[in-house]
Amino acid sequence: MLMTCALHVRQYDKAWEMGADISVVDLEDSVPEPRKEEARRLALPLLRERSPEGLVQAVRINSLASPDGLRDLLALLDGGARPDALFVPKVDTARDLHILADILGERLASTFFLVLIETAAGLCAVEEIAAMPRVRALVFGAADYSTELGIPMLWDPLFYARSRIVVAATRAGIPAMDTPYFAIKDMEGLGEENARSRALGFRGRAAVHPGQIQAINAAYGPPPEEVDRARRVVALAERSGGQIGVLDDGQMIGPPMCLAARRTLALADKIDRVSRRLRAAPEPVKV
């Protein structure tokens, strides 16, 4: 997922070129207040176009509690925009999404929601929010969350919020996406946090620079040995008719392990498609 400021629309195409699966045009934090209307004007042509196959086209609107949030929605509806998804910030309750769906009406009835959990209220209601029918992913917003709580934006202070978001998303059958890593030149730090994040259960994270995308894809994708093992698990399950069996390394395999293996293979296939696309892309962006 690559975030692109609506004022810098020339960067928008880099999401596809660099291997992002979601491209987000941002009307919120990256746009200063005096330039909100200009940002809407620049974003609308992008959001009228059909996105390339395999790329989700999204727009981050301003908070629904703000006048700019309502102006964003009116601009989308009146301007003929057809984004695949709305990236919805500062969602505090499931009711917020009910209201949003009512505003969108029939014209954007197929647009789904990527929901930012970035407030204490949103975290307390995260299970209800995740269960809403149009929600396709939860995204942790560490910057606003840590500011509200008055805590540093470090791993340990944010561990509880991350864990709760992952559990709520898993229960709802949707992915959890981690917060951006804002030190765009610190690739070593990005790699370390990616490893922790994936181990906790996040399926990916937002990028704020194109140069982060390949590192994120590599970190959240399964390593070759895990893919090989998943293939052997699925093959064993098919031979045994779904019954419990024993893998060649002595590990007992049951239905939960087989389900996990199938998910691993599906993710590996997705990453492989992205890799093939990247081989035809321009030289990677340097940070």
User: Could you say which residues of the chain have pLDDT below 50?
Assistant: 278-287
Query: To 5 degrees, how large is the angle CA 140–CA 143–CA 147?
Result: 120
Nearest Cα residue to 140 out of 76, 70, 200 = 200
pLDDT at 279: 43
Q: How many whole angstroms separate alpha carbon 84 and alpha carbon 72?
A: 16
**Could you tell me where in the chain the CATH 3.20.20.60 domains are found?**
2-220
- For 160, other C-beta atoms within 10 Å of its C-beta total 10
Q: Domain 2-220: what homologous superfamily?
A: Phosphoenolpyruvate-binding domains (3.20.20.60)
Global pTM? 0.81
Q: What is the pLDDT of residues 36-59, one digit of tens each?
A: 999 999 999 888 877 777 788 999
pLDDT at 278: 45
User: What 3-state DSSP class applies to 29?
Assistant: coil
